[in-house]
Structure 1
Amino acid sequence: MTQHLQLAALVEACHWIGAKGWAPATGGNMSVREDARWCWLSESGKDKGSLTTADFLQVEIATNKAPSGRKPSAETGLHTLIYRLFPDAAAVLHVHTVNATVLSRVEKSGELRLSGYEMQKSLSGQTTHLDTLPIALFDNDQDIDALAGRIEAYSRENPLRYGFLLRGHGLTCWGRSVEEAKRHLEGLEFLFECEMQRRLLERR
């Protein structure tokens, strides 16, 4: 897929995310890989529901630098980390959904464990609802370099697949294409909503 088509697909996904209300108040950030050296990342402070291809900046994966001098997203270091850790990752989506944000605070451990949901199969490689699916959960940090370091250290000892949660912040997920990243986002968000409802009902 050419760079133009990749960006066009990402812009379409951003409009879909905006319409869902998953990136309110200019929150969230999205990116697509260009090649081993570069990615394209949404500019800071832009409404994700009305982005155009001109609102994405070329960023060097190794250095987090944008040659244009414009300001990429505050979470640039998390996107580039994913591209470094996973050479097959082609797109990264970071959203602030209510379910992801609240669950990340309710769950006190370092993982949100999902099991028994048929929709687990919306995630690549998952073939049964009987699996227990761990979603890594990290404490939020305004120091993105420090946060990226903790995530990278975790990944050396634990499989990091599909996405991770930041406590009180939201979900970051990825895929081998924009379409797969979008499917992972939609699948995880559905699973988070089910888990929220399950926990609420069990408390009654």
Structure 2
Amino acid sequence: MTTPPSAAAGDGTNDHLVQSTDPDHPANLIPSLCAKFWTLGWVTGTGGGASIRNDDLVYIAPSGVQKELMKPSDIYVLSLAAQQSQSLHPRQRVYLRRPPTLKPSQCTPLFLAAFTKRGAGCCIHTHSHWAVLVTLLLEAHGSAEFRINNLEQIKGFGRGPGKAGNLGYHDTLVIPVIENTAHEEDLTEFLEEAMDRYPDAYAVLVRRHGVYVWGETVHKAKTQCESLDYLFQLAVEMKQLGLAWITDIAPTVPTRSAA
């Protein structure tokens, strides 16, 4: 399948979009986050990436760049509204700013799905080996869902877009799994379908590939990505010990009220 080239209109230099002394500016924050993810083994080689939305502007890590060496000048920028044009082929992109020697990430349409369907402010994609191992364990049991409960780290996840508060200790965290495709951008429709089927989910696992995690802000996306990776590792080790991911534990209630 041939991918149509990005639309030429709007593909200017616009280097000012990625130039800032503010460490929290998306063009500075994406390289910083990816460098940290590299130390965790989440973005080994050039795999994985991250994208941040700032109102209508979307900042995206490029393809083919070692994530720990990424620079602000490597970042792509596009207008979210401009991508909704009916005249554009579904695989075309109008970039406001693009590096002259790099290629756009094939994760781009999946990041955009998190922004348009979930109103996310940040989307992170990792190739964490714990995520991959979990999908293999689920594959062995013919399951397309990761479900786990009665663990403290579940509190790191919101109850769902537009819902107040986070999940509780006794709640069940559910993450859908979609099948991998030969080309990453071909995952988009399956990711969107999973979002529709699981409206409260903040992540989607990709079988034998990794995971996409999003949040309303960079802080929330990062927190949920870290919490999820912790739970994936724990789940793999629990399986090795013969421990169940879903358990029936009655809430513990204090015998007397606090003074």
TM-score (norm 2): 0.71
CA distance in 2 between partners of 1:59 and 1:104 (Å): 32
- Aligned residue for 1:23, secondary structure, equals coil
CA distance in 2, matches of 1:41, 1:66: 11
1:92 alignment counterpart: 123
Letter in 2 for 1:182: K
Work out which structure has the larger RCO, using CA pairs closer than 8 Å and 6 or more positions apart in sequence.
1
CA displacement 1:56-81 (0-9 Å, x = unmatched): 10134425443437521122111111
Percent of paired sites with the same residue: 25
Query: 2:7 is matched with which residue?
Result: none
Determine the C-alpha separation between the residues in 2 that align with 1:139 and 1:80: 19
Alignment of 1:99-178 (within 5 A): 99-108=130-139, 109-124=143-158, 125-178=165-218
Corresponding letter in the other structure for 2:152? E
Structure 2 residue 95 is matched with structure 1 residue 66:
yes
Structure ID, larger Rg: 2
Q: Partner amino acid for 1:122? A: G
Gaps of 5+ in 2: 1-16, 84-91, 159-164, 244-259
Residues in 2 aligned to 1:92 and 1:143: alpha-carbon distance in whole angstroms: 19
Structure 1 residue 51 and structure 2 residue 70: aligned?
Answer: yes
Look up the SS of the partner of 1:13 in the other structure.
helix
Sort the Cα spacing of 1:154 and 1:96 in 2 relative to 1 into closer, same or farther, 3 A: closer
SS of match in other structure, 1:25 = coil
- What amino acid is aligned across from residue 31 of structure 2 in structure 1? V
Equivalent AA in structure 2 for residue 58 of structure 1: V
In structure 1, what residue type is equivalent to 2:77? Q
Tell me which residue corresponds to 2:51: 31
| Cα distance change on mapping 1:165 and 1:39 into 2, 3 Å | same
Q: Distance in 1 between matches of 2:127 and 2:218?
A: 18
Is the 1:6–1:32 Cα contact (8 Å) retained in structure 2? no
After superposition, residues 9-28 of structure 1 pair within 5 angstroms as: 9-28=29-48
Match for 2:117: what amino acid? L
Q: Given the alignment, which residue of 220, 224, 228 partners 1:188?
A: 228
Query: Residue 65 and residue 142 in structure 1: after superposition, are their counterparts in 2 closer, same or farther (change >3 A)?
Result: farther
The answer on whether the counterparts of 2:213 and 2:224 sit within 8 Å (CA) in structure 1 is: yes
Structure 1 length-normalised TM? 0.89
Does the aligned pair in 1 maintain the 2:31–2:71 contact within 8 Å? yes
Map Cα deviations across residues 143-202 of structure 1 (whole Å, 9 max, x no partner): 445421122223333325221100000011011221211111110000001100000111
CA drift of 1:110 comes to 1.5
Pairwise CA RMSD: 2.1
CA contact (8 A) 2:176 2:198 kept: no
> Counterpart of 2:112 in 1: which secondary structure?
helix
Q: CA deviation at 1:112?
A: 0.5
Instruction: Could you tell me which runs of 5 or more consecutive residues in structure 1 were left unpaired when the two chains were aligned.
Output: none
* Alpha-carbon separation, structure 2, partners of 1:83 and 1:123: 18
Counterpart residue type for residue 111 of structure 1: E
In structure 1, what is the Cα distance between the partners aligned to 2:174 and 2:74?
A: 34
Q: Which amino acid aligns with 1:66?
A: Y
Tell me the distance in 2 between the aligned counterparts of 1:143 and 1:51.
23
Aligned partner letter, 1:13? L
Number of equivalenced pairs = 200
Greater CA drift, 157-166 or 134-143:
157-166
Report if aligned partners of 1:9, 1:178 keep a CA contact under 8 Å in 2.
no
